[in-house]
Amino acid sequence: MSGNGYDGLGVVKGRTIAGAVRIYDTTLRDGEQSPGISLTVDDKVSIAHMLDALGVSCIEAGFAASSEADRNVFQQLVTDGLRADLYSLSRCLRDDIDAAHGCGLKHVHLFIATSDIHLKYKLKMSRDEVLSKIDDSVTYAISKGMEVMFSCEDATRTEYGFLKEAFLTAVNAGASIIDIPDTVGVSMPAEMYELVSMLSRDIDVPIAVHCHNDLGLAVANSLAAVEAGASVIHTCVNGLGERSGNASTEEVALNLKLNYGVDTIDLTGVDRISKIVSRYTGYPVAYNKPLVGRNAFSHESGIHVHGILNNAATYEPYPPEMIGRSRDIAIGKHSGAHSLKDKLSAMGISFPDERLGDLLEEIKTLSVGGKEITDIELAAVAENLLWRGRSEVHVRLDEFVVLTGKNVTPTATVTVTVDGVSRTCAMTGTGPVDAAVNAIRAALDNRISFEELRLESITGGSDSLCEVTVLVRDTVVDGHISAGKAVGIDIVDTTVDAFMQAINRDYARSR
């Protein structure tokens, strides 16, 4: 591939934010709360190690009070030792704090709801009761020597005066980070900016945000929070999390790098962890998901591929290598000649420019219905086209129809033109291929016998192209054997194509 550099086009925009930003990954807690996800202790331990290797600053690996399995995860991770700060979620309850502390944890994430709707319909508590729970639980955790991050659940729907009071209560009791959860994902970036700005004027500890994606704004809200001074962002790999998920770890980290030049995690590892989290959770990654979706660096349309081949920055906002991926030139119905040539030369196949148009036509025919042509299929089609191009056409198949089904005698009708004379024949057979072969042979006065058929599925998938090779014998002239080969989507059509190839080779030889 030529010129795939970014030719001096900076991908980092250089907007500025004050100070460092830390990623607080909650894949193993909020992410695991996604319906249908149930990770084993081993799964969680190995994902936590991967997150640690990626360089996230904090890992919320579960909720110690909620299950023995989570306590086992914490104990194992404490024994292993991580670079990241390891947090357990905890209600503002002494028993919950004891469960986290009992696992040997030094960090705890305490939360209690503060919005009126949660107080009235869920907690059934007054504001004063909530404040006293905050004070008691934070004081208790601090007395155990733990560091506390404190969240007002549903913060973005909490009346500002009470929100500030709740956070101040936590900070006065010793919390060292306050977190603003946008629990039901209703905030707008401008509102998040305003809220973080107000809290950072009123309270002097680092601010975290925990943004849910119900309205598709989790990443935008997290970035707005960072612009307003937040320094800890809660995220989940692949954007997992309750309902529509949380801000995705990879999207937040890449945006911080591209827009502000801020380094957080090792971006080259995000593709791998995305795949592993997807496999362990059973949650597929959408093809079009930013960064880690299958199509993020896949180019098919001729115009785009042409641009990409000259300078990748034409249709890519940043190089795929930056996140541990590589570019893919997909071959399908939107492909152009440049893509084909580039793919073939990458596979070491030199294909004449003057035949590219024919190859393109063939590919477009084969990819009707959206089939993507794999590299190996492209190579087979191209090689077959070159091979076919070397024989002249003496016998032309003008029409071909085959009727087959259950409890139907397969019957084929063909019209062929031999040296300018047209002939139509219909024959039956044991199957559609046999009927077609019999009809073509009859139209040629049985000069050619069908000796051998070899059929291969190129990729093995149910939508694979097939490659058919046939051997025929000239039973009238001299018994010579000729071969024919074709690549196509339909077994009967492709066999007929290969048969016609072989027939033309025989006729060309014996002229």
Distance CA 508, CA 511 (A): 6
Distance CA 384, CA 363 (A): 12
Nearest to 127 by CA among 156, 162, 158, 177: 162
Report in angstroms the alpha-carbon separations of 30 from 54, 184, 455, 458.
19, 13, 51, 43
Per-position x/- string for 175-204, each x denoting binding to ligand KIV as judged by CB under 6 A, each - no binding = ------x-x---------------------
Q: Which of 44, 107, 210, 388 binds ligand KIV (CB under 6 A)?
A: 210
Token pair, residue 121, equals 């319909």
Partners of 212 in the β-ladder = 246
Shortest distance (Å) from residue 183 CB to ligand KIV = 4
* C-beta closer to ligand KIV: residue 66 or 475: 66
332 interacts with, out of ligand KIV, Zn ion, none, CB within 5 to 8 A per kind: none
- Work out whether strand 395-403 and strand 328-329 pair parallel, antiparallel, or are unpaired: unpaired
Confirm or reject binding of residue 60 to ligand KIV (CB under 6 A). Answer: no
* C-beta closer to Zn ion: residue 235 or 482: 235
31 interacts with, out of ligand KIV, Zn ion, none, CB within 5 to 8 A per kind: none
Distance CA 169, CA 79 (A): 33
Choices 27-35, 61-69, 260-268, 471-479 (CB under 5 A): range interacting with Zn ion: 27-35
Shortest distance (Å) from residue 346 CB to ligand KIV = 46
Confirm or reject binding of residue 299 to ligand KIV (CB under 6 A). Answer: no
Nearest to 236 by CA among 97, 71, 60: 60
Please name the amino acid found at residue 219.
V
Confirm or reject binding of residue 30 to Zn ion (CB under 5 A). Answer: yes
Residue in the block written with tokens 């010579």: 480
Distance CA 340, CA 305 (A): 10
Nearest to 4 by CA among 291, 379, 306: 306
Q: Which of 24, 74, 111, 351 binds ligand KIV (CB under 6 A)?
A: 111
Tell me the HSE value of 225 on the side-chain side, using a 13 A CA sphere: 33
111 interacts with, out of ligand KIV, Zn ion, none, CB within 5 to 8 A per kind: ligand KIV
Confirm or reject binding of residue 316 to Zn ion (CB under 5 A). Answer: no
Confirm or reject binding of residue 151 to ligand KIV (CB under 6 A). Answer: yes
Choices 22-30, 59-67, 347-355, 358-366 (CB under 5 A): range interacting with Zn ion: 22-30
**Which residues contribute to the site for ligand KIV (CB under 6 A)?**
30, 89, 111, 151, 153, 181, 183, 210, 212
